Structure 1
């Protein structure tokens, strides 16, 4: 009998290698996210607000993704009838823009690295307006309706978080989450269940009821209380322990030193 051709086998192995490559899971260790830009703008919100017009103009020119998402959020908001927001217009638009997938990923990546140094934030982080408005929106709504703890969750595909019980961690970025409850979760790589006490519910701003509606901040701290690892999924439970920030009013520090960063 003639020997079978090796071509089909080689083709099969190549396809298998491609499948493995495209389904590789990224391992991410939960820690205090030391490179995150975590400014809470404590004591300087009014002064930071005065900086917004000039900053917004500059960032629209430097960051086209932000500019497009902002314009789209304004258009969508204006087209929706009888929509009520408990926040100033620019905060509402910032939240709506952040709900958009293209901006969400780009912004989160930038936030996770912008805290590496003051220079990195000042020179390379072109989301200063969005970061401030999201942080200020949380603070304004919290002061208005009161802070309370709530159970939320997030599921992730393609990413597997790693943590150990007893660790203190931060997410290091803003993140939308959903209220706990509903159908059992399957087909994901990470199930993150969070008791958060420094977040706010913004469901009223979404035109899609299925959208995640609770906003978690980069600076909330959590204790890892439960980790269960299965063959296909890790389930991690976090309980809030407070907040922690390395930065505060960083953009305004230039003014304190006699330097106006935005006019360099």
Structure 2
């Protein structure tokens, strides 16, 4: 890019509005800025510098009345003495606004990433979570959050940039502690938070976007920052056992005892857990005995049936269809219990779930857990189970099983494997020091996804008890 960036010259109040957002009340996209001028001049920097000094600068400042010519004259008088391997023209260009060459030279001397802030009065499209974006032009941000809030509070950014350079030493406004981000730096949106009132830091902010550098390109900064992170994906659990038993529930209810006996016979631990449940559960009007025992077994931490069951349920789709799944009875009885209780309770719940797992990628904007999943009405209880990756969940298909649980003090809500959730926010302690976990995902119920409806009925050997006209 030339020293003269004509499209940006009039944005000398470095932290002002995004230059593309000139229309009030319009919602602008956050995207890859496909029409951006993002030349990095690799392999031609020296030639370009010579052309700028010999030709382009003179030509583009020849009109003595132009904004560029006036700005350049002012910068010649007031620019800072160059250092950090910059030339005189680099220093002048930064004073006017900046240029790509100057940023990359400064970046090599600074060799660090920055946490910066940017405030705007622009409304951006909100469907950006986990997407890759670029600003698409030289973009101002500040090392001081308090400075940026004066420039806007409608859509604001917390940015982790590894290509931007600190221009404080050369800026016309050093008090703004400006870090300038080049147009070619790519970011990943890791969270978007919404506020309706006032919030600490940015007053009356409507939306806060947290974006992190997606690739660390400069060799001095090392490899892609994602390479060192290992963890599980949050996705739609495509291999989940998610049978809803629609149109075959009665048939399954008749034969569940047969499956229960077979599965207890093959699994001694399951048999012991089931017998323990039968001894201890209390009779309730709402649930049948077997449903109550199923909840007791699932919530019993002594036998830890839930661990094996959850893993098999999340990954057992093919086994379920083949007739080799180990938990047909428990799967059905828990699903039936949740449905009965949910209809009686007739409400949604805000629940919490704590884990010591690291989820390093959200593969889809909507996800599901893919197995019957425990959560608690009490955040402090949920935190006992882990504080690495945690969830604040708004479930409308879950059921409060406190009365039936082996551990009623855990105030447990069980969530069905087929309930879908929209990821509405991802917060981290890096940006919110008082957060209750290292990372908190906020999930809102968004419907269902069911792929195995009555799949067991479709097995040839089960046609005896399945009504063929009811198979979907």
**After TM superposition, is the score higher than 0.5?**
yes
CA separation of 1:210 and 1:252: change in aligned 2, threshold 3 A: same
Q: Tell me whether 1:114 sits opposite 2:313 in the alignment.
A: no
CA separation of 1:212 and 1:110: change in aligned 2, threshold 3 A: farther
SS in structure 2 at match of 1:35: coil
CA deviation map 1:14-52 (0-9, x unaligned): xxxxxxxxxxx9611100001111001112111111111
Return the match for 1:96 from 276, 296, 305: 296
Return the match for 2:370 from 172, 179, 201: 172
CA separation of 1:34 and 1:237: change in aligned 2, threshold 3 A: same
Counterparts of 2:383 and 2:252 in 1: how far apart (Å)? Answer: 42
Match of 1:9 in 2: none
**1:72-91 matches, cutoff 5 A:** 72-77=276-281, 84=284, 86-91=286-291
Counterparts of 1:256 and 1:184 in 2: how far apart (Å)? Answer: 43
Tell me which protein shows more helix as a share of its residues: 1
Q: CA deviation at 1:171?
A: 0.4
Match of 1:8 in 2: none
CA deviation map 1:187-230 (0-9, x unaligned): 71111111100011010113533224100111100010001233
Match of 1:156 in 2: 355
Q: CA deviation at 1:145?
A: 3.5
Q: Which has the higher contact order (CA 8 A, sep 6+)?
A: 1
Contiguous gaps of at least 5 residues in structure 2: 1-228, 431-436, 467-472
Q: Greater CA deviation, 176-185 or 202-211?
A: 176-185
SS in structure 2 at match of 1:204: coil
Q: CA RMSD in A?
A: 2.8
Counterparts of 2:392 and 2:336 in 1: how far apart (Å)? Answer: 25
**1:247-258 matches, cutoff 5 A:** 247-254=452-459, 258=463
The alignment's TM-score, normalised by the length of structure 2, stands at: 0.45
Contact 2:231 2:359 in 1 (8 A): yes
CA deviation map 1:139-193 (0-9, x unaligned): 22223342x2211011112x11244497110001111111155599587111111
Counterparts of 2:381 and 2:271 in 1: how far apart (Å)? Answer: 37
Match of 1:189 in 2: 388
For this pair of structures, how many residues does the alignment match? 229
CA deviation map 1:121-147 (0-9, x unaligned): 44431100000011111122223342x
Contiguous gaps of at least 5 residues in structure 1: 1-24
Contact 2:351 2:376 in 1 (8 A): yes
Match of 2:423 in 1: 224
Counterparts of 2:361 and 2:348 in 1: how far apart (Å)? Answer: 22
Match of 2:448 in 1: 243
Q: CA deviation at 1:246?
A: 0.6
Contact 1:37 1:121 in 2 (8 A): no
Return the match for 2:241 from 31, 37, 58: 37
CA separation of 1:26 and 1:90: change in aligned 2, threshold 3 A: farther
**1:103-142 matches, cutoff 5 A:** 103-115=305-317, 117=318, 119-142=319-342
SS in structure 2 at match of 1:93: helix
Return the match for 1:208 from 400, 403, 407: 407
SS in structure 2 at match of 1:173: coil
The alignment's TM-score, normalised by the length of structure 1, stands at: 0.77
CA separation of 1:257 and 1:89: change in aligned 2, threshold 3 A: closer
Q: CA deviation at 1:244?
A: 0.8
Counterparts of 1:184 and 1:39 in 2: how far apart (Å)? Answer: 27
Contact 1:203 1:214 in 2 (8 A): yes
Counterparts of 1:184 and 1:242 in 2: how far apart (Å)? Answer: 24
